[in-house]
Amino acid sequence: MRIEVVGLGKAGLPLAAIIADSGFEVIGLDISKERVEQINNGKNPFSDEPGLDDLIKKYGGRRIKATTDIQMAAKETNVHIILVPLFLNSENQPDFRYIDEAVMGLLTGIKKNDIVVIETTLPVGTIEDRIKPKIENAGWRVGQDVFLAYSPERLMSGFAISRFKEFPKIIAGVDEESSSRASEVYRKFIPRLYLVSNTRTAEMIKISEGVYRDVNIALANELFKLCEKDGIKYNEVRQFANHEFCHLHQAGLGVGGHCIPVYPNFLIQKNKEGTPLIQLSRKINDGMVKYWIETIKNDLKKLKKQNVTICINGLTYRPGVKELYHSRSLELVKQLKALGFDVYAWDSLLSKEEIESLGIKYKKPEECEYVFGEFLIKTG
Ligand SMILES: NC(=O)c1ccc[n+]([C@@H]2O[C@H](COP(=O)([O-])OP(=O)(O)OC[C@H]3O[C@@H](n4cnc5c(N)ncnc54)[C@H](O)[C@@H]3O)[C@@H](O)[C@H]2O)c1
């Protein structure tokens, strides 16, 4: 059995490494020539992912062969796992471009008895209503010639390898035979695998996790604002309020990254009437940038000084993860700049050149008169 992993990103590459480490030959497909070359040279593009360096050094170009050749990758393998991104378009609707391209790519080379497993987080119904018809339109009988399943990726950047080894993973096929064949393969490299009723349930399980986080972060942000008004320390409240049935989240600048702020929209866009809490939570979390701008303005008034240099300490959406998608700190910099403030940024994961390439001035926190650090709010 040879396994294809389509999309060698922050999620796909650790998966390819885990599969290789379980003894299987992997062909990794990516559209980025640079990434493919790096991996084949044994170099890990994600140095912030513990444990991945060793695995890529060991298997890159050997048991994991990376390629940009779509047809060859599909022809030479019999299990095809897709883990490409799914973003939102400007109307907050899911943009299926990458996943559609990846599925159409597979269809240039798949064979009878091949198994296709999608891992990208998807809106409910995508496997049955979008992916399955594409495979059938290419002439394959799903469940008889080709088998289709869904197993959403649940890793967290920075913990990818350990999550694959320890975290429960779910899987579901579009029919009994697909469930059975796909889970038989996955059990060979995922130790804690659970078969759930159907692909719609599996899609909803993954989205629900993201929505739970978003709603609870919104609650934390609201409680934080109320505490601030009353001179109460939210972190102290949180520390002593939390117990088995109460799990107050951290408050902050909102929610970034391409997971938690994205997935609630999968439900909202399909059911505007039925998602008031989910919609409000999105609004509260995205509104935190404005809240902090008001706080910063009030702090600056107290300094009684003109043209104060402000440093935003930390631009990535989460500490330790070099990812800027929907970063609230970037939005904060943008809005402060638009208001005419003298704003700079610093980040332990980004070089001066990388920060300047974002159109942002670079200065270290100690070189500025006022420092804002989202991660300091969370912990301090
Ligand atoms: N990163 C995470 O923490 C995380 C966690 C859970 C789930 N996920 C899931 O994984 C998906 C991918 O996330 P990521 O962080 O790996 O993204 P990423 O941007 O790091 O990587 C995506 C990779 O896919 C490649 N790609 C895009 N279209 C392709 C195609 N048609 N064929 C081959 N390669 C293609 C890109 O070149 C890139 O290397 C997310 O959308 C999400 O559903 C990610």
Beta strands 342-346; 309-313: pairing state? parallel
Determine the Cα–Cα distance for residues 118 and 191; give it in Å rounded to an integer. 19
Transcribe 227-264 into DSSP letters.
Answer: HHHTT--HHHHHHHH-BTTB------S---SSSTTTHH
Query: Partners of 27 in the beta sheet?
Result: 4, 65
- Domain assignment present for residue 309? The answer is yes
Residue whose CA is at the smallest distance from ligand 1 atom 19: 9
**CATH code: domain of residue 214:** 1.10.1040.10
Last residue of a domain, one of 270, 286, 302: 286
Determine the Cα–Cα distance for residues 113 and 147; give it in Å rounded to an integer. 7
103 and 46 in a common domain: yes
Distance 82 CA to ligand 1 centre (A): 9
Last residue of a domain, one of 145, 169, 196: 196
Structure tokens at 69: 């050749």
pLDDT for 47 equals 86
Number of domains in the chain: 3
Last residue of a domain, one of 145, 176, 196: 196
170 and 216 in a common domain: no
pLDDT for 376 equals 60
pLDDT tens digit at each of 380 positions of the chain: 999 999 999 999 999 999 999 999 999 999 999 999 999 999 999 988 999 999 999 999 999 999 999 999 999 999 999 999 998 998 989 999 999 999 999 999 999 999 999 999 999 999 999 999 999 999 999 999 999 999 999 988 888 888 888 899 999 999 999 999 999 999 999 999 999 999 999 999 999 999 999 999 999 999 999 999 999 999 999 999 999 999 999 999 999 998 999 999 999 999 999 999 999 999 999 999 999 999 999 999 988 888 899 999 999 998 888 889 999 999 999 999 999 999 999 999 999 999 999 999 999 999 999 999 866 655 44
Instruction: Answer for the pair 311, 346: CB distance below 8 angstroms, yes or no.
Output: yes
pLDDT for 377 equals 59
Residue whose CA is at the smallest distance from ligand 1 atom 21: 9
319 and 361 in a common domain: yes
Distance 7 CA to ligand 1 centre (A): 6
At which residue do the structure tokens 């990458």 appear?
A: 98
13 and 158 in a common domain: yes
Ligand 1 site-directed mutation target among 5, 119, 127, 258, most atoms within 8 Å of CB: 258
Q: The domain containing residue 325 runs over which residues? A: 288-379
Structure tokens at 149: 């399943």
pLDDT for 379 equals 46
Beta strands 193-195; 309-313: pairing state? unpaired
Distance 77 CA to ligand 1 centre (A): 20
Atom of ligand 1 at shortest distance to CA of 122?
A: 43
Q: Which residues contact 51 (CB under 8 A, 6 or more apart)?
A: 160, 161, 162
Among the residues of 107-233, which ranges form H helices?
126, 132-137, 160-166, 176-186, 199-229
108 and 251 in a common domain: no
At which residue do the structure tokens 């010639």 appear?
A: 145
Beta strands 361-362; 309-313: pairing state? unpaired
Residue whose CA is at the smallest distance from ligand 1 atom 18: 9
**CATH code: domain of residue 167:** 3.40.50.720
298 and 339 in a common domain: yes
Q: Which residues line ligand 1 (CB under 6 A)?
A: 6-12, 29-32, 35, 83-86, 98, 101-102, 105, 120-121, 153, 155-157, 258-259
Amino acid at 202: A
